Amino acid sequence: MNTLLRRLPAHVINGFTVALGVAVVHLAAVALAGPAAAGWASSGAIFASLADRPGSVSRSWRRVLATGLLGCLAGALMVLLASQRVALGAAIAAIAFVSAMTLAWGPRAGPMSFVPVLAIVFAMALPHGTPAGPVVVGYLAGAAAYFAWAMASTALLQRRYGTLALAEAVQALAELLRRRAAVLAAGADAAQAAERQRAWVRQEGVLAERLQSARDLVFSASDDARMRREAALLLRLIDLRDLLIAGLLDLDRFDAASDGPRWRAWLARQLEAQARQLESAQALLSGAGDGDAPPPDDAAAPPDGSDPATARLGAALRNRAAHLRADTAHIVALARGGEEPLPLRHAELRQFVVPEGWPLAVFGAHRTLASPVLRHALRLALALGCAYGIALLLPWASHPQWLVLSVAVVLRGNFEQTLARRNQRVLGTVAGCLAVMLLARWPSPPLMTLVFLVAVGVAHGFAIERYLVTALAATVMSLLQAHLADPATGFPVAERLADTLLGAALAWAFSYVLPSWERRALPRNVERAVRALRGYAKHVLGETLEDAAAQRIARRQAYDALVAVGAALQRGAAEPASARPPLAELTRFLDQAQRLMAQLSMVRLVRQRAGLGGAAGDGDPAELGAALRRAHGVLQRRLGAALGEEAAAPPLPADAAPLPQPPEAEPDAQPLPWLLWRLRMTEAAAAQTGRAAAEVLAALTGTMPSR
């Protein structure tokens, strides 16, 4: 059993513990108070379980407690108003509004925003005439019991969750390497290259989420040998992402060379080989294998660099590939149990953990219709109120909560996610109905109770990872819950299918009501990205590189800001043409900003590896200091002008002059000439990024669609 658990991913373990916890609450309630009370207690347990995600006790208890209480409160209100249809409809709209407004706290409030809707569904599924008092007591008792279970299971598993979060981050970076290798291997096919580039951008978002999840769990753990080893591996992983983006610099200079395609193919093989090495580290961390991987191929067989255009840059590219291999080897060694001193203290690592708590001050920024959170809250309230009213008019109005649920789970905060949920919900419902039809051939209450509990765990475990599976399990769960609460109703599969199809259509229609088109928020996202690049540059181009924690925080902010722009670009591409943001300008800005980020990262890496971190470094301190000050000044002026914070300056010499040629010295033997050349390239990248930012902001602040 222990070996099996070691091989399971975190979301499967979490789903299993949730299902087991709800089962324990259910069985205890059956023994103490009977089947009816067990149903109420199970509902309360499910309310609390929505926030029971992989984490630590210190980070989970507030979420589980708040979610359980909110679900019980919403359920109590629904039970009290069960006989008053008009008041019930108003309550559904009000609950939907309040639940959506909790998203002002960010993605971590996702379970809290959904539990009131689930409480609506559970309360409306109760047989007519069910007394309110015992139901509310059952809800509270079940939520309290599950809270105790969640804290105990989290305390037992929190270190394992941290290790698995780290393994998932390693896997995400391995996939990012593969996506980048695919871009390099795309060749001259423009459509294929564009699709692979979009896949790369999507994976950047996945990696950012996985890295933050790993930070939250690993850096918040107690300071011991295991925590230090995992923290060292995570820091290496974050630095490897930096080295990856820096290692792709200058490839455009190879395009015109005769051996350019061979250089790209060689680098793609290098990335594939390092992806396999990272997957071996992931296997070691997760317990899914022995971590053996074939040695990196082509490590000593790059193109010979016979073309003069690539001879000098080829040496730099080989150098960066060697560093990539070395850092990957360090990660594998740490996964095998090696040790490495941490560059940051434990207190400094905790600065990278997302803070917990529910500050009310965040709602101050969401009091106007410019707020996408407020617009979604109003849209959801109108949609659910309308869904309830329509459900009462339908000929199959015995389960109006199903139409309400279908609208709630499909209607998301943005158009792209609503479309994706619509399709997945319909497919999952059809599959779930077929599963229940098969199960109905063996009408055994114990079997149905067992399947119901398993469906609870599956729906919970895959809610983030794969919503299609969650939709299937949720359909099974809802049909069985209605049957177990009132067996006389049978299995209304046809009604469930009709409600899902109608709910998906309603949600799609309401996505056009008070829509939150991406172009509304994109100006702020672009400006945030520009400011984050300027902030990171202050640390990279400063006279010294002493404050490692502040530099890492600035780097994370820059990466997160660029990921946010990339995610908005992906979502905006799915929006109607009349509301679609300027995709070409956004793509150009994102490309230039990533190039600038890569140049800055390369400057930082060269300074750190060569000991050129300040006046005491190697080389000519006066020459280096002057070059750093010049590059910093150019970058701040160029990016500041895009934000309107700097007066439009006349073109700098670097704007009109051709880009400087790389030095002839070997990169490792004489790093200073390469660093000075890299600083000039950073100036050119800053000018290009500033122009791209100005163009996209001008395009975004044009005429907005009226609807």
The answer to which of 210-224, 278-292, 593-607 has the lowest mean pLDDT is 278-292
Q: Which of 415-419, 446-450, 477-481, 684-688 has the lowest mean pLDDT?
A: 477-481
Nearest-CA neighbor of 15 among 53, 68, 43?
53
Task: Give the dihedral of Cα atoms 15, 16, 21, 24; nearest 10 deg.
Answer: 140
Last residue of a domain, one of 464, 497, 516: 516
Residues 269, 404 within the same domain: no
Taking residue 183's Cβ as centre, other Cβ atoms within 10 Å add up to 20
pLDDT beyond 50 at 518: yes
- Same structural domain for residues 670 and 522? yes
What is the total count of domains within the chain? 4
Tell whether 565 is covered by a domain.
yes
Burial class (CB in 10 A: 0-12, 13-18, 19+), 156: exposed
Element (H, E) at 120: helix 110-124
Alpha helices in 337-444 (DSSP H): 346-349, 372-393, 400-410, 415-439
Place of tokens 């490839």: 251
Domain-located, residue 207: no
Single pTM value for the model? 0.84
In this prediction, residue 536 has a pLDDT band, given cuts at 50, 70 and 90, of very high
Q: Are residues 523 and 624 in the same domain?
A: yes
Q: Evaluate whether 572 touches 518 at the Cβ level (below 8 Å).
A: yes
| pLDDT tier, 617 (very low <50, low <70, confident <90, very high otherwise) | very low
pLDDT digits (tens, 9 = 90+) for 103-154: 999 888 888 898 999 899 888 888 877 888 999 999 999 999 999 999 999 9
**Higher-pLDDT residue of 299, 56:** 56
Residues 464 and 526 in one domain: no
Over range 232-253, report the average pLDDT.
Answer: 84
> Comparing 230-239, 266-275, 303-312, which segment has the lowest mean pLDDT?
303-312
Q: What is the DSSP string of 196-211?
A: HHHHHHHHHHHHHHHH
The CA distance from 501 to 507, in Å, is 10
Is residue 463 within 8 A of residue 470, CB to CB? The reply is yes
Please report the pLDDT score of residue 615 as a whole number. 43
- Which structural domain range is residue 340 located in? 221-349
536 and 491 together in one domain: no
State the helix-helix crossing angle for 110-124 and 400-410, rounded to 10 degrees: 170
Number of helices (H), then strands (E), belonging to the chain: the values are: 24, 0
- Measured from the Cβ of residue 664, the count of other Cβ atoms closer than 10 Å reads 10
Across residues 164-169, what is the average pLDDT?
Answer: 93
Residue 196 lies in a domain: no
- Looking at the chain, the whole-number percentage of residues with pLDDT higher than 70 is 87
Give the separation between CA 497 and CA 513, rounded to whole angstroms. Answer: 25
Whole-number Å distance between alpha carbons of 632 and 698: 25
Angstrom distance (rounded) from CA 484 to CA 449: 8
For 627-645, what is each residue's pLDDT tens digit? 889 999 999 999 998 888 7
Report yes or no on 194 lying in a domain.
no
pLDDT per position as a tens digit, 669-694 = 778 888 888 899 999 999 999 999 99
Same structural domain for residues 583 and 672?
yes
User: What angle, 0 to 180 degrees and rounded to 10, lies between the N-to-C axes of helices 132-184 and 35-49?
Assistant: 40
- Choice between 705 and 593, residue whose per-residue pLDDT is larger: 593
Half-sphere exposure of residue 100: CA atoms within 13 angstroms, side-chain side:
27
Domain co-membership, 501 together with 537: no
- The rounded mean pLDDT for the chain is 84
Verify that 511 and 522 share a domain, yes or no. no
pLDDT value for 70: 94
Q: Quick check: is 634 in a domain?
A: yes
Report if residue 706 sits inside a domain.
Answer: no
| Backbone conformation region of residue 663, classed left if phi is above 0, alpha if psi is from -120 to 50, else beta | beta
